[in-house]
């Protein structure tokens, strides 16, 4: 077991769905053709509006590792990562779209399932050697998470894992994140 790793949260498909997986799946709404034709958007707002489900999700994501910092990816990642950081007694670090952070930044560009983007982090966001968990809502192609990993490493942090609410397995994002533990509360 990795040092600091607590008992694993739900990460698997196939061996029967847990109560948490069912609770999550029941509260994520598929919105076809948003934000553009051909994309099935996973809308997490019904989940966010349910305090019991939200608490279970935050606990599930916060119990994975002992870390110094939780990185949240703009924008839906922030909504999950901030309470996870509080719950894990860790600091919160925002990774934002280019041009939004006020002080000196590092940046990475990447391709999305729809379009492309550049994300940034403050250069001084981490103390060298900080153990970092990256949190987002959906893992799709893995481009965003991969760029976030690069940013954290360049800024001096040690990425111990990536935790997401939902993984879209057919896009094989996990394959791009070679060597980094990926924890998904639900895999579809
Ligand atoms: P990717 O870089 O392709 O893994 O995309 C992940 C990022 O895009 C996450 O920040 C998600 O919030 C968002 N995203 C990508 N695809 C979807 C989707 N089908 N539904 C909701 N969010 C998505």
Q: What is the pLDDT of residues 86-129, one digit of tens each?
A: 999 999 999 999 999 999 999 999 977 557 899 999 999 999 99
- Counting from 1 in the atom list of ligand 1, the atom nearest the Cα of 143 is 2
Task: Please tell me whether residue 120 adopts helix, strand or coil conformation.
Answer: strand
Tell me the pairing of strands 131-139 and 158-167: parallel
Atom of ligand 1 nearest to the CA of 168: 19
Q: Per-residue DSSP letters for 32-97?
A: ET-SSTT-EEEE-HHHHT-HHHHHHHHHHHHTSB--SEEEEETTHHHHHHHHHHHHTT-EEEEEEE
Q: Look at residue 5 and tell me whether its pLDDT is greater than 90.
A: no
pLDDT of residue 6: 43
- Tell which CATH classification among 3.40.50.300, 3.40.50.2020, 3.40.1110.10, 3.30.930.10 matches the domain 65-187: 3.40.50.2020
Ligand 1: nearest atom to the Cα of 40: 19
If you ran DSSP here, which 8-state letter would residue 9 be given? -
Residue nearest to atom 17 of ligand 1 (CA): 41
12 versus 129: which is more confidently predicted? 129
Report pLDDT for 17: 67
pLDDT (0 to 100) of residue 114: 59
CA of 106 to the centre of ligand 1 (A): 22
pLDDT for the residue 145 = 97
Q: Quote the percentage of the chain above a pLDDT of 70.
A: 89
Is residue 72 in contact with ligand 1, taking CB distance under 6 Å?
A: no
- Ligand 1 pocket check for 149: Cβ under 6 Å: no
Kindly list the domain boundaries of the chain, sorted by start residue: 65-187
Mean pLDDT of 164-182: 96
Nearest CA to ligand 1 atom 13: 138
Distance 21 CA to ligand 1 centre (A): 19
Two tokens, residue 24: 């999550």
Q: What is the pLDDT of residue 9?
A: 44
Does the beta carbon of 138 lie inside 6 Å of ligand 1?
yes
115: left (phi over 0), alpha (psi -120 to 50) or beta: left
Task: Report d(CA 178, CA 132) in Å as an integer.
Answer: 17
Cα–Cα distance measured from residue 106 to residue 45, given in angstroms and rounded to the nearest whole number: 31
């Amino acid at each position: 077991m990795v040092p600091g790793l607590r008992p694993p949260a739900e990460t698997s498909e196939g061996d029967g769905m847990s109560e948490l997986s069912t609770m999550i799946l029941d509260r994520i709404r598929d919105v076809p053709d948003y934000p553009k034709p051909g994309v099935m958007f996973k809308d997490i707002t019904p989940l966010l509006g349910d305090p019991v489900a939200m608490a279970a999700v935050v606990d599930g994501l916060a119990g994975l590792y002992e870390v110094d910092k939780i990185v949240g990816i703009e924008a839906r990642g922030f909504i999950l990562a901030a309470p996870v950081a509080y719950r894990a007694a860790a600091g919160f670090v925002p990774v934002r779209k280019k041009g939004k952070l006020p002080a000196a930044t590092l940046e990475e560009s990447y391709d999305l399932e729809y379009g492309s983007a550049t994300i940034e982090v403050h250069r001084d966001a981490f103390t060298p050697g900080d153990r970092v968990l990256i949190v987002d809502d959906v893992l799709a192609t893995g481009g965003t998470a991969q760029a976030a990993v690069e940013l954290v490493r360049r800024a001096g942090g040690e990425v111990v894992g990536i935790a997401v609410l939902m993984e879209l397995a057919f896009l094989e994002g996990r394959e791009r994140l070679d060597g980094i533990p990926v924890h998904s509360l639900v895999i579809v």
